[in-house]
Amino acid sequence: MGLKQKLHNFKVKNQDKKWLPGFNALFTFLYMPNETTHNGTHIKAADDLKRTMNTVIMALVPCLIFGMFNAGYQHYLAQGLIESADGFLGASFWTWDNLVIGLWKVLPLVIVSYGVGLAVEFIFAIIKGHEVEEGYLVTGMLVPLIVPVDIPLWMLSVAVVFGVVIGKEVFGGTGMNILNPALTIRAFLFFAYPTWMSGDKVWVHGANAATGTPDAYSGETILGSLAQNNGTLGHDIWDMFWGIIPGSVGETSKFLIIIGALFLIFTKIGSWRIIVSTLIGALTMGLIFNGVVSAEWISESSKFYGLMNVPFWQHLIIGSILFGAVYMATDPVTAAQTNKGKWIYGFLIGFISIMIRVFNPAYPEGVFLAILLMNVFAPTIDHYVIQGNVKRRLKRVKVKAA
């Protein structure tokens, strides 16, 4: 008798136990369960929820690994201990020392995110008596990638509990949530502990602890610097593209995000319509702002000048709009469902992101706010798209009847 059979028998024996969903979750993670559908054939497809989730996680792993190296690299670079790396394969980037810092700082974030989030999911599954849902697998991976590396672990735990309960479970669990749980978690952190989520001290490991000592150093993000009209801090376009800049753990490398995006589009997990329309929206807003600058409606002394003057296409490689567009906006539950709706939804995300970025120097990273806002409006967009469709078809019917 194999292990699978033993586990199955164990499951049958404990069928009426309250903790069974907890066991089932681990069991189905390892094996296909023995149950089959009884009533006729349904859609046969290999991409069930678990497969979908795992595909997204695979697309995220490169960002995570890069984020680990980057955490160490930024730490040593800010202290002046290593040379700045020249390009993606720079000698001082992919070093063992960098990885050690990364493992030390980033792995606990991953573990806490998964541990706390899954604990909440298990508790709710047992209370409600349904199976544990896989929805948290992706959220748990996204969370460590969108927070600053030095965020205290207890804050992350509080935020994860809040995000999973208020963002998802109160609406009925995976598939019913209005807001993207990962972004709910980030929004909670942002509003609850703003000193740990913004400014120039949180993006590089150790910068906060070193404040006030002779060895003090800082690591401002390019976006933060631009919002204060201070230029790009000597980083060129390629630094931003390869991602060797300070920022949240996993969102700096545009190169790896694009690879992840291609992977998601190729496997048809992520909607290319949303990704493309988000980028179009961002470019449109960027062009409008460039137009404002070239028409000389604002002067260099204006506090919006720094970000308005950024060439419109560079908005895509500054900050995390690309990460948001690829991994956050495409969340199938919270995005618009209709194809036309997806275009509108994505376009507005990009458009509003850049608007928040320019007009609100206190929250230069407006991507998460824009996505949360559009999450709320997605059902409305769908409603009008469907109504429009119904109307058009009704008209056709009438013409025929006449």
Residue 152 binding another protein, by CB under 8 A: yes
**Chain-centroid distance, C-alpha 272:** 16
Q: Is 194 in the site for another protein (CB under 8 A)?
A: yes
63, 251 in Cβ contact below 8 A? yes
Of 69, 76, 188, 242, the one binding another protein by CB under 8 A? 188
CB-nearer residue toward another protein: 72 or 163: 163
Q: Which is nearer to another protein, 96 or 154 (CB)?
A: 154
Place of tokens 């906060």: 208
Q: What SS3 state is found at 96? A: helix
Closer to another protein by Cβ: residue 166 or 287:
166
Query: By CB under 8 A, how many residues form the interface with another protein?
Result: 13
Do the beta carbons of residue 155 and residue 196 sit within 8 Å? Answer: yes
User: d(Cα 14, Cα 267) in Å, to the nearest integer?
Assistant: 38
Tell me which of 170, 209, 216, 390 binds another protein, using CB under 8 A. 170
- Using CB under 8 A, pick the residue from 110, 119, 155, 386 that binds another protein: 155
- Note whether 218 and 205 are within 8 A (CB): no
Q: Which of 43, 154, 236, 301 binds another protein (CB under 8 A)?
A: 154
Asked if 90 and 98 count as a contact pair (C-beta separation under 8 A), the reply is no
**Integer CA distances (angstroms), 172 to 24, 125, 135, 165, 178, in order:** 20, 11, 12, 10, 10
What's the first-to-final CA gap in the chain, in angstroms? 71
Q: Which stretch binds another protein (CB under 8 A): 26-34, 192-200, 237-245, 259-267?
A: 192-200
Applying CB under 8 A, does 373 fall inside the site for another protein?
Answer: no
Rounded CA gap, 173 and 352, in Å?
28
Work out whether 384 is an interface residue with another protein (CB under 8 A). Answer: no
Question: Closest distance between another protein and the C-beta of residue 258, in Å?
Answer: 34
Residue 262's CB is within 10 A of a number of other CB atoms, namely 15
Q: Which is nearer to another protein, 19 or 191 (CB)?
A: 191
Distance between CA 143 and CA 122 in Å, rounded? 18
Q: What is the closest distance, in whole angstroms, from the C-beta atom of residue 286 to another protein in the complex?
A: 30
> Is position 176 an interface residue for another protein (rule: CB under 8 A)?
no
Can you tell me the distance from the alpha carbon of 223 to that of 355, in angstroms, rounded to the nearest whole number? Answer: 13
Amino acid at 315: H
Smallest distance, another protein to C-beta of residue 187, A: 9
Q: In this chain, which of 10, 19, 191, 384 binds another protein, going by CB under 8 A? A: 191
Name the residues that contact another protein, by CB under 8 A.
152, 154-155, 158, 166, 170, 188, 191-196
